[in-house]
Structure 1
Amino acid sequence: MYIDRVAVTRKARRFSGGVYALGLHVVWCPKYRRPVLDGQVAVRLRELLEQKAAERGWEITVLEVMPDHVHLFVKHDPKSSASYVANQFKGFTSRVLREEFPHLKSKLPTLWSSSYFAASAGTVPAETVLKYIETQRERPRQKEMGEQA
């Protein structure tokens, strides 16, 4: 549902080595999928996620905090892997939330489950990329270069 909205707002960013437009959909849950992300905890979690994204130069496009899981769509730099992005958000928020909300320490041995889901989401459909690759030999420039070689 929200991926369409993301594709419309995506813009390429530049850095010294090139241009990129990387988006990552990340989902993670509290330990034992306990429904502890509500009320003030949910509000503070949103603030912390925005803070971490700003600190790293990432842009959160979509954020949904449910009582038992978090959905996040973030634009990130090409040097940050999916595991790095997920673990930056999870580690930072766990430490701060457990300090600020002592009931989270007493209910759970750690705030987050050790696992997460991450999927890259590009602006070009996979079918378009596949067609582009498959038709490379048919392109005029490639034929001219092939004939000269």
Structure 2
Amino acid sequence: MLYYHIVWCVKHRYPILQGQVETDLKEILTDIASDNEIVVLELETGKDHVHMLISCKSQHVIPSIMKAFKGSSARKLFLKHPELKNKLWGDHMWNSSYFVSTVSDNTEEQIKHYIQNQQIDHR
């Protein structure tokens, strides 16, 4: 199993990940992970970005993982919350870039703590 810390941002860093949108996004991302045999070890959002610590098999490749998370979640969130298209000027939901870092046994707890405190750290 491989461990990755992944982060990506809302297009234009618009602060839309709040309230029901945030709740729905977390459920959607967890479902996408499950459908793709990816284990979510930690998941938290700021108002304009997502942090995940995931575990997956070696056959998973990062670009495919990110396409699944970003593409599917955007489609599903736009269906559940059509008002988001107006807030994002009809644009894509996610910025095209993302951050990925491998996580070792030595840093796993440190990364979990960092992700768990995203809401607190960004208030």
| TM superposition score category, shorter chain reference | 0.7 to 0.9
Instruction: Return the TM-score normalized by structure 2.
Output: 0.81
Query: RMSD value over aligned CA atoms?
Result: 1.2
Alignment equivalent of 1:99, drawn from 62, 75, 79: 79
Matched, 1:54 2:62: no
How do 1:1-149 residues align onto structure 2 when only pairs under 5 Å count? 21-108=1-88, 109-123=91-105
**Does the aligned pair in 2 maintain the 1:22–1:77 contact within 8 Å?**
yes
**Structure 2 CA distance for aligned equivalents of residues 51 and 68 of structure 1:** 21
Aligned counterparts of 2:102 and 2:44: Cα–Cα separation in 1: 17
Q: Please give the secondary structure, in 2, of the residue aligned with 1:45.
A: helix
Identity %: 35
Deviations 1:52-101 (A, max 9, x none): 11111110001011111000000011111122212210011000001110
RCO higher in 1 or 2 (8 Å CA, sep ≥ 6)?
2
Task: Report how many residues are paired.
Answer: 105
Question: What amino acid is aligned across from residue 40 of structure 2 in structure 1?
Answer: I
> Match of 1:145?
none
Unaligned runs of 5+ in 1: 1-20, 126-149
Structure 2 unpaired stretches of 5+: 108-123
Runs of 4+ with deviation above 2 angstroms = 122-125
Which residue identity does 1:95 align to in structure 2?
A: R
**Pair member with larger Rg:** 1
